[in-house]
Amino acid sequence: MDFNSIGLLGLYQNTAQTQGQVLTPRERAEQARLIQAVKSVNQSGIFGSSNDLIFSSDPETGRPVIRLVNRETKEVVRQIPAEYLLRLSEDPRTAAR
């Protein structure tokens, strides 16, 4: 998996594209504030000096995913929702592929 330290831009863009929408100026401003908040949390070290908080979307379900990832090893330390819950929520017609 390829992770970046923020991941929010992709989450918003993927969600908007999936729903066939273009982000409004207000949504873009909200997006910028959220990105800055995540950067602040990552810089604060609240999750440890070697971990980053990452927001993304699950490619199979399109659902938002929050991960705590080790910066050096890229190992997922914690994920919400858990991977098994994401797999359970997949459409059975597409999960069989």
What's the pLDDT tens digit per position in 7-25?
A: 445 555 555 454 556 888 9
Q: What pLDDT does residue 95 have? A: 54
On whether the pTM is more than 0.95, the answer is: no
pLDDT one-digit tens code per residue, 80-94: 999 999 988 887 766
pLDDT higher than threshold 90 for residue 79: yes
What is the chain written as a DSSP string? Answer: ----S--HHHHHHHHHHHTT----HHHHHHHHHHHHHHHHHHHHTTT-TTEEEEEEE-TTT--EEEEEEETTT--EEEEES-HHHHHHTS-HHHHT-
Tens of pLDDT, residues 26-78: 988 988 888 888 888 888 888 888 999 888 888 888 888 999 999 999 999 99
